[in-house]
């Protein structure tokens, strides 16, 4: 048995790509996309027609509507391949606007439903800002399920649990990146692998907290830099993995065992936490890594959303 098949015994495997032609070989259950992945895909010749067709069919509509229709086309193509759910992201430029995020999410769902896609097969990705979490809470109450992304801190995870969101995506690799850069020449790679990786530690802490307190929100580790980070989180509810790392897992026969255990988490002595807006903002502010990576992530997605805008305008 290869490592990918072994991982599937403990964890729901999710493909992290907009390149739906790569997905089928790995037989993931779900798939996730984001602005950067869609931008990367539409610049490939084999996907350019999706962009051109969306522009031709809806020319004269607002740019944001055409963008949403393009995202839904990618999502529908992916859903034709996988048995589970696809995550489609709300424009990151709305990350601090609760009402606009809700409206954009509702439109994405309406577009999916117009294509015959059941609401339960779509997760709307929203940045885990305070405003994004409140938007997600409102959407969940309306039956629209959400995936809270750009999540780097425990306080974000706790607030998402309070909001009863469907799923969170803590970013393992970007947490690792920050700590490695911060340590500079003092960083010893061998001391920060496997369970000692700072990104792995963060996801493990969140997973254990959710299981300890019976929080139904699913935990999906994301943004991996290497296979070691993935195997150290075997047993997590879901893991979303790039095609490159999926290929590496499928090509390895190294042993893989369950690392996270929901039953074991029940016995842990953990404090129960709760946040309102004031305490959430303070806790996030006190976490330099999370503050910096959240802001950096939103900026990067905004840049790529702008680049996608330009491609649509030029088509």
Query: Which residues are part of the catalytic machinery?
Result: 125
Count of C-beta atoms within a 10 Å radius of residue 183: 13
Q: Is the dihedral of CA 204, 208, 211, 217 positive or negative?
A: negative
Residue listed under structure tokens 């296979």: 227
Structure tokens at 46: 């084999």
Based on C-alpha coordinates, what's the Rg of the chain? 19
Q: Partners of 167 in the beta sheet?
A: 147, 218
Structure tokens at 247: 């290929």
Q: Are residues 252 and 3 in contact, defined by beta-carbon separation less than 8 angstroms?
A: yes
Provide the greatest CA pair distance for the chain. Answer: 59
Report which DSSP code applies to 116.
T
| CA atoms of 235 and 262, how far apart (whole Å) | 8
């Amino acid at each position: 048995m290869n490592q990918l098949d072994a991982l599937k015994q403990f964890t729901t495997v999710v493909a992290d790509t907009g390149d739906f032609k790569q997905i089928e070989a790995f037989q993931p259950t779900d798939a996730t996309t984001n602005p950067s992945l869609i931008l990367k895909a539409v610049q490939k010749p084999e996907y350019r027609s999706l962009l051109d067709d969306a522009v031709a069919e809806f020319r004269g509509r607002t740019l944001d509507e055409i963008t949403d229709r393009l995202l839904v086309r990618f999502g529908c193509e992916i859903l034709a391949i996988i048995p589970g759910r696809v995550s489609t992201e709300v424009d990151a430029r709305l990350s601090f606007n609760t009402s606009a995020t809700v409206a954009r999410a509702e439109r994405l769902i309406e577009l999916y439903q117009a294509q015959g896609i059941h609401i339960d097969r779509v997760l709307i990705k929203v940045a885990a800002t305070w405003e994004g979490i409140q938007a997600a809470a409102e959407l969940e109450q309306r039956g629209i399920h959400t995936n809270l992304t750009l999540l780097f801190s425990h306080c974000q995870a706790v607030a998402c649990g309070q909001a009863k969101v469907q799923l969170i995506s803590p970013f393992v690799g970007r947490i690792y990146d920050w700590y490695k850069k911060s340590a500079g020449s003092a960083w010893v790679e061998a001391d920060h692998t496997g369970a000692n990786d700072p990104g792995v530690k963060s996801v493990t802490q969140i997973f254990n907290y959710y299981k300890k307190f019976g929080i139904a929100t699913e935990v999906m580790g994301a943004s991996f830099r290497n296979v070691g980070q993935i195997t150290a989180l075997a047993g997590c509810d879901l893991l979303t993995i790039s095609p490159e790392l999926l290929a590496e897992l499928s090509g390895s026969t190294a042993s893989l065992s369950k690392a996270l255990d929901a039953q074991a988490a029940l016995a842990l002595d953990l404090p129960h936490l709760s946040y309102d807006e004031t305490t959430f903002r303070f806790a996030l502010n006190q976490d330099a890594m999370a503050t910096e990576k959240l802001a950096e992530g939103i900026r990067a997605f905004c840049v790529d959303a702008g680049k996608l805008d330009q491609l649509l305008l030029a088509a």
